[in-house]
């Protein structure tokens, strides 16, 4: 029997830029920390099915600084992670796609991509 300790922090992430297609959405984001933190990065997850080229269908964020094999450093702060994810919302990284639908629309059909982003923003209105 092994007891695994982990910590869960839940945040609400929104676009850093005004007048973007992500504007108006307040997106729930969970950070799962294991007992190996800060040696290993937290797993960062939006809700399952979140639409973004760099978010896996499971909701897991694909961001270089969260890659424990290459980009992660124990000195990276939670604030830096959150700002990195906020930046990723507005500026997807097509070189590192995590979901087929989001990636293809971002690359091939910008109009439909933006429509889907605006539609998703309406699904996550401010809580206040």
Buried b (16+ CB within 10 A) or exposed e, 31-46: bebeeeeeeebbbbbb
C-beta separation of 84 from 16 below 8 A: no
Catalytic residue flag (residue 44):
no
Q: Encoding tokens for residue 35?
A: 């007992």
Identified catalytic residue from 29, 31, 62, 63: 62
Q: How is residue 64 annotated by DSSP?
A: G
Catalytic residues: 62
């Amino acid at each position: 029997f092994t007891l695994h300790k982990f910590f869960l922090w839940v945040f609400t992430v929104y676009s850093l830029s005004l007048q973007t297609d992500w504007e108006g959405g307040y997106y729930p984001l969970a950070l799962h920390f294991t007992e190996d933190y800060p040696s290993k990065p937290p797993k960062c997850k939006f809700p399952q099915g979140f639409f973004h080229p760099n978010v896996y269908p499971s909701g897991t964020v694909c961001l270089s600084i969260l890659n424990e094999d290459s980009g992660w450093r124990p000195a990276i702060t939670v604030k830096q992670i959150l700002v990195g994810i906020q930046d990723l919302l507005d500026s997807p990284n097509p070189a590192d796609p995590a979901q087929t639908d989001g990636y293809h629309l971002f690359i091939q059909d910008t109009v439909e991509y933006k429509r889907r982003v605006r539609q998703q923003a309406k699904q996550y209105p401010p809580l206040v």
